[in-house]
Amino acid sequence: MSLLNQTHNPELTSWLTSANVENSDFPIQNLPFAIFKRNNASESFRGGVAIGDQVIDLAALSAKKVFDGVVGAALTACSQTTLNEYMAMPASTWSALRSALSQALSSGSSLQSDIESCLIAQSDVVFDLPCRIGDYTDFYTSVYHATTVGKFFRPDNPLLPNYKWVPIGYHGRSSSIGVSGQAFHRPKGQTKAPDADAPTVGPCKRLDYEMEVGIYIGGGNEMGESIAIDQSDEYIFGMCLFNDWSARDIQGWEYQPLGPFLAKNFASTVSPWIITNEALAPFRMAWSRDENDPQPLEYLSSARNSELGAYDVQLEVFIETPKMRDEKQPAAKLSHSSFRHSYWTTAQMVAHHTVNGCNLVAGDFLGSGTQSGPDAAEAGSLLELTGAGKNRLDLGNGETRGFVEDGDAIVMRGFCEKSGVKRIGFGECYSLVLPAK
């Protein structure tokens, strides 16, 4: 069951030399999408595709009229200030544009001069959210994260009875999702100390990040219709890195009985590039459920999901403190895990989200939930890495952290690599914490 085509050929090279550099995030095999404009320029945001250290200005390319038909229509859609119109097009159109760009960027292409005139250095651009996110749903798909966190509250029975039967999720707030580079003020809210008679209001004292994978929905489904698990590739446009910021002390007081609220809706950060589902095809792998666990219900199970449901996306988290910036030290690495450890697959998330007839639309966003691996060093949050703040982390420069402090920046990076396949990257997801207002 292969999803590969010529665009994935590891021998493919580009006439743009920066795309051929070893370990580049953006070789010709990647071609991710973003919304950008030149820094400090009085111009509109529009669609772009990364190649090497450059961005292809898709509006400029569209104006050249070198492509017609389906590809020409796709470029017109990508010339808008958001990618929603393009994402709403059929998956076959996404593939057609990817193929056309791959050929145009390949070594020896007759379109080299046309494309060259549409290139802008990535160092000269700023980004906006790649699409208008209408709705955002956050899942809870790492059994390792759920188990560790559950032990803080229920040491003898950390997982609730439904966890291994249902892809758990909640509806988040899309308006506070920002693109990489986001700076936000520490949230304030109501908390209650265990020995206090009443709660108090003030700045969060236990600010945490969550290393997640974001999933962008392309074309949606009609209300009342569900998306079958094996149809999910027609609806998943692509993925990004996602930092779902969390105020743990606010969360601990408010989350019962309805779950996250103010602890989660003050800020979330996405990386600017959407790595298309097609680009990730070489890194899909078998997914399975432990034979001792409940097996997925019929609508959450298929041979295709078992063969190709998991994605081996490497996920790294770093912290950059004010001292590191002042002394020009590199950010300190906190953890490294992989999306392949997810207990539920992206296809299962989509199938479950729509089994009740919920209508997804282009630009809807799914968070994977904190991605933690089986080893302690693979934890995707400080809550896990520090035992809820009890064991402060040594950052290697004389500093320690229990939770994120004012002035700290969290940097997330992601990439896919394996033998015989060209490495592709996700770029960077950077966000900075400012003091509470």
DSSP string computed for 283-338: GEE-----TTSPPPPGGG--HHHHHH-EE--EEEEEEE-HHHHHTTPPPEEEEEEE
What pLDDT does residue 153 have? 81
Is 263 a residue whose pLDDT tops 70?
yes
Q: What is the pLDDT of residue 1?
A: 60
Share above pLDDT 90 across residues of the chain, in percent, rounded to a whole number: 97
Domains 6-128 and 136-434 share a fold: no
- What does the pLDDT look like over 364-395, one tens digit per residue? 999 999 999 999 999 999 999 999 999 999 99
Confidence label for 2 from pLDDT (cuts 50, 70 and 90): confident
Write down the pLDDT at residue 352.
98
Distance from C-alpha of 12 to C-alpha of 101, rounded to nearest angstrom: 13
pLDDT in tens, 156-201: 989 999 999 999 999 999 999 999 999 999 999 999 999 999 999 9
Instruction: Summarize pLDDT for 87-143 with one digit per residue, the tens.
Output: 999 999 999 999 999 999 999 999 999 999 999 999 999 999 999 999 999 999 999
Whether the link from the prior residue into 257 is cis, omega within 30° of 0, is yes
Please state the domain extents for the chain: 6-128, 136-434
- pLDDT above 70 (res 317): yes
Q: Based on C-alpha coordinates, what's the Rg of the chain? A: 22
State the greatest distance between any 2 C-alpha atoms of the chain, in Å, as a whole number: 75
Confidence (pTM): 0.97
3-state DSSP assignment of residue 11: coil
Over residues 352-359, mean pLDDT: 98
| Mean pLDDT (whole number) for 73-85 | 98
What residues are labeled active site?
145
Q: Which CATH architecture has domain 6-128?
A: Roll (2.30)
The CATH architecture to which 136-434 belongs is: Alpha-Beta Complex (3.90)
> Each residue of 180-204: b (16+ CB within 10 Å) or e?
bebebebbbbebeeeeeeeeeeebb
Q: List pLDDT tens digits, range 200-254.
A: 999 999 999 999 999 999 989 999 999 999 999 999 999 999 999 999 999 999 9
Counted residue by residue, the chain has a size of 437
Q: In this predicted structure, what is the pLDDT of residue 152?
A: 87
- Which distant-in-sequence residues (6+ apart) come within 8 Å of 249 by Cβ? 191, 204, 205, 206
